[in-house]
Amino acid sequence: MSKSLDKHDPSDLAILGGDPLFTRPLAVGRPNVGNVDRFLGRVRDILDTRWLTNDGPYVQEFESRIAELAGTRYCVAMSSGTVALEIASRGLGLLEEVIMPAFTFVATAHALMWQGTRPVFCDIEPQTHHIDPGAVEALINHRTSGILAVHLWGKTCDVDGLAEIAKRHGLPLMFDACHALGVSQGGRRVGTFGACEVLSFHATKYLNTFEGGAVVTDDAELAEKLRYMRNFGFCGEDCVAHLGTNGKMNEVAAAMGLTLLEERDELVAVNKSNYEAYLREIDGACGLHVMQYPSDGAYNYQHVVAMIDEDDACLERDHVVTVLRAENVLARRYFYPGCHRMKPYSAMHEYAAVHLPVTDDIAARVIVLPTGPQLSHDDIAHIGTILRLAATAAPRIVARLRESGSAWC
Ligand SMILES: *Cc1c(COP(=O)(O)O)cnc(C)c1O
């Protein structure tokens, strides 16, 4: 990624009239594309055989590779993570109300609401950003049909605390593991927790199938049911056993996934070394602190998450994001303002009394930074320079932003 210049003085900042540091935008979640020849070889084979979809050989191979990676007996590939969440929650019989965090991608909530199941939003723990088991228990009532927890940022949430509560109340527990493909903590792999776990292979995830998702589980009966449900309920040529939908993954998608799986180790290694570079280069700059990972795990490092520390922040979170964007570093606020503050939830009277102080605080302070093979360590060092320069020029930047008006919705 070419830089147009080195910056030494606050006036060099793009927000104050300088040229952007990067000539091309550095996006969060820039899609990874694996070895093009290997991918096209698979696509040619798919076209030659004309087996384009419906549980074809590439989908089957992809499922077995993902099950291996997740340490589970079954993987049922789907057309997206959202559809996988819908089908999995329906397969588990989650009706009426399901307790879940509001600090997640809105698809987690929509997947429930889409089928008439009401998400009940629960607060999170300030340190981990994960659903708070104590808060979950306080929300359980006679309408509760299950718990949907999220392994946010690819770290495992309090799986034991949640499992204990779920067991005590006789509730199914499932996980949105869309951030956590290939993660393990304390020697236990994501995939093996709860009744089932849901993965996403959307283009922006570090391992993609263009669009795609999967449910992984050790439960043979559940896996079989999910297979029927993703294919209109068909159990044989003229036999329909279940209510079903079309949630199938196609063969070209699986070919992409298989090609990227061959490069997964390198992709994770790049993300890990970028994460370590961010930790060295920006931690503490402009009140930003890079979120760390527990030492007893293997992570995919697909998210570089930084938090604005209110005590030593010189600029508000949104101002920092604007400063970075002006440099073509397309940093993002994530899961802001939280599902509970988005429609349709925010407009429904059932949610009027929802009070999630930790979620609100975290959603106001998170910045997600670009990573992946698009960035070099030099690039990350330059991002650190930008942040330190911005810290020295905070009043000028705030004045400039007031003049121009903020662009946020
Ligand atoms: C990406 C994502 C989803 C949705 O997955 P899609 O494959 O885009 O449908 C759901 N939950 C979380 C936490 C995600 O990051």
- Mutating to test ligand 1, I would choose from 156, 200, 204 the residue with most ligand atoms within 8 A of its C-beta, which is 200
Ligand 1 centre to CA of 392 (Å) is 38
Taking Cα atoms as reference points, which of 113, 150, 115 lies closest to residue 346? Answer: 113
Give the pLDDT of residue 46. 98
| CATH code, 36-261 | 3.40.640.10
Confidence of residue 157 (pLDDT cuts 50, 70, 90): very high
Handedness of CA 6, 8, 11, 15 (dihedral sign): positive
Ligand 1 centre to CA of 83 (Å) is 9
Give the pLDDT of residue 312. 76
Task: Kindly report the protein residue whose alpha carbon is nearest to atom 8 of ligand 1.
Answer: 202
Please state the pTM of the whole predicted model: 0.96
Ligand 1 centre to CA of 290 (Å) is 23
- Please answer whether residues 131 and 100 qualify as being in contact, where contact means their C-beta atoms are separated by less than 8 angstroms: yes
Confidence of residue 408 (pLDDT cuts 50, 70, 90): low
- Mutating to test ligand 1, I would choose from 108, 110, 175, 332 the residue with most ligand atoms within 8 A of its C-beta, which is 108
Q: HEC profile for 289-327? A: EECCCCCCEECCCCCEEEEECCCCCCCCHHHHHHHHHHC
| Mean pLDDT computed over 284-312 | 93
| Mean pLDDT computed over 59-66 | 98
Average pLDDT, the chain: 95
- Mutating to test ligand 1, I would choose from 66, 176, 201, 211 the residue with most ligand atoms within 8 A of its C-beta, which is 176
The Cα angle at residue 122 between residues 118 and 123, in degrees rounded to 5: 155
Residues of the chain with CATH 3.40.640.10: 36-261
Ligand 1 centre to CA of 178 (Å) is 5
Sheet with strand 74-78: strands edge to edge: 74-78, 213-217, 196-200, 173-176, 144-150, 97-101, 118-122
Ligand 1 centre to CA of 81 (Å) is 5
- Please answer whether residues 113 and 90 qualify as being in contact, where contact means their C-beta atoms are separated by less than 8 angstroms: no
- Mutating to test ligand 1, I would choose from 82, 190, 215, 332 the residue with most ligand atoms within 8 A of its C-beta, which is 82
Please name the residues in contact with 166: beta carbons below 8 A apart, sequence gap of 6 or more: 146, 147, 172, 173, 194
| Mean pLDDT computed over 87-101 | 97
Q: Which atom from ligand 1 is nearest to the alpha carbon of 213?
A: 7
Helix locations, 54-120, DSSP H: 57-70, 81-91, 106-113
Confidence of residue 313 (pLDDT cuts 50, 70, 90): confident
Task: Kindly report the protein residue whose alpha carbon is nearest to atom 2 of ligand 1.
Answer: 178
Over residues 233-261, the pLDDT tens digits come to 999 889 998 899 999 999 999 999 999 99
For the record, the structure tokens of 164 come out as 């204990």
Q: Which atom from ligand 1 is nearest to the alpha carbon of 111?
A: 10
Give the percent of the chain with pLDDT over 70.
Answer: 98
| 1 has pLDDT over 60 | no
Handedness of CA 339, 340, 342, 345 (dihedral sign): positive
Alpha carbons 173 and 136: distance in angstroms, whole number: 12
Which residue ranges have their beta carbon within 6 Å of ligand 1? 80-82, 104-105, 107-108, 150, 176, 178-179, 200, 202, 213
Confidence of residue 409 (pLDDT cuts 50, 70, 90): very low
| 293 has pLDDT over 90 | yes
Ligand 1 centre to CA of 80 (Å) is 8
Ligand 1 centre to CA of 107 (Å) is 6
- Please answer whether residues 194 and 148 qualify as being in contact, where contact means their C-beta atoms are separated by less than 8 angstroms: no
In this structure, the strands spanning 288-290 and 304-308 are antiparallel
More confident residue, 2 or 355: 355
Confidence of residue 303 (pLDDT cuts 50, 70, 90): very high
Name the DSSP letter for residue 346. G
Give the pLDDT of residue 196. 98
In this structure, the strands spanning 213-217 and 74-78 are antiparallel
What CATH fold (topology level) applies to the domain 10-28+264-331+370-404? Aspartate Aminotransferase, domain 1 (3.90.1150)
Alpha carbons 149 and 379: distance in angstroms, whole number: 35
Ligand 1 centre to CA of 329 (Å) is 23
Taking Cα atoms as reference points, which of 167, 109, 104, 110 lies closest to residue 133? Answer: 167
Alpha carbons 151 and 214: distance in angstroms, whole number: 15
Give the pLDDT of residue 406. 62
- Please answer whether residues 172 and 95 qualify as being in contact, where contact means their C-beta atoms are separated by less than 8 angstroms: no
Give the pLDDT of residue 310. 77
Residues of the chain with CATH 3.90.1150.10: 10-28+264-331+370-404
Over residues 112-127, the pLDDT tens digits come to 999 999 999 999 999 9
